Amino acid sequence: METRNLKLTLEYDGENYHGWQRQPRVTTIQGIIEEALAKVLQKKISLIGAGRTDAGVHARGQVANFKTKSNLPLKNLKAALNSLLPEDIVVKHAVHVSNDFHARYDARSKLYRYTILNAPLSSPLLRKYVYFFSYPLDIKAMKRAAKFLAGRHDFSSFRGAGTARENYIRKVKRLKVSTEKELICLDMEADGFLYNMVRIIAGTLLDVGRGKITASEVRKILEAKDRRQAGPTLPARGLCLLKVKYR
């Protein structure tokens, strides 16, 4: 029987999970989906994710792939998985891809969004998906500061303590600050991300917006390659993986 390589596009609320990656004795997105796949296909499945979202981080467009010899039609597979998965995880698309496709290694860039609710009062409906900040923010200054971070740089100043890498150079293809009523959206697309990189950059731009540092100081923070000089790591709940891009 011919082996098929199947690509899944996933949406999930990360609040109740210890991140994407399978881990012993804790509930993860990867683990839950692999359990559902095993029930549907009657065989243990190893799922490859495009990226390892951290505990509490959400996704609208996470991508994963797996190989199987099952000939179950894709629409039936998708329906079966969604009937077994908890309501906070959904398979949006299931497609057949070439056998050499790899969700992680073939990804050319990922697009994340960090959302800040800048309003006098918090929102009960949005509280799980935004970081609430009640004081006025200088959006223009945040936009100016964001420009210093676009391009190919050493992002050592914006890496979490758990980053176990020798190479901290990444190419930020886009870093856009936009507003929609009381929401401030920080959209960042890059060829790769260091641990907590988006959340630290969001915290640094927040410091610019609140006047704690100037926009031009962000360039100095970048050049310093010193995590202590950057802003705080904002909470995971405001972060969402919007899309993974391939060739």
The catalytic site residues sit at 54
Distance between CA 89 and CA 59 in Å, rounded? 9
Q: Which residues of 165-183 are buried (b: 16+ CB within 10 A; e: fewer)?
A: eeebebebbebebeeeeeb
Length of the chain: 247
Q: Determine the Cα–Cα distance for residues 31 and 46; give it in Å rounded to an integer.
A: 9
Those residues whose C-beta lies under 8 Å from the C-beta of residue 177, and which sit 6 or more positions away, are: 139, 142, 143, 146, 184, 185, 186, 205
Torsion-angle region of 178 (φ positive above 0: left; ψ -120 to 50: alpha; else: beta) = beta
Contacts 24+ apart (CB under 8 A), 187-191: 187/111, 187/112, 187/113, 187/242, 188/111, 188/112, 188/113, 188/114, 189/109, 189/110, 189/111, 189/112, 189/245, 190/109, 190/110, 191/108, 191/109
The distance of Cα 83 from the centroid of its chain, to the nearest Å, equals 25
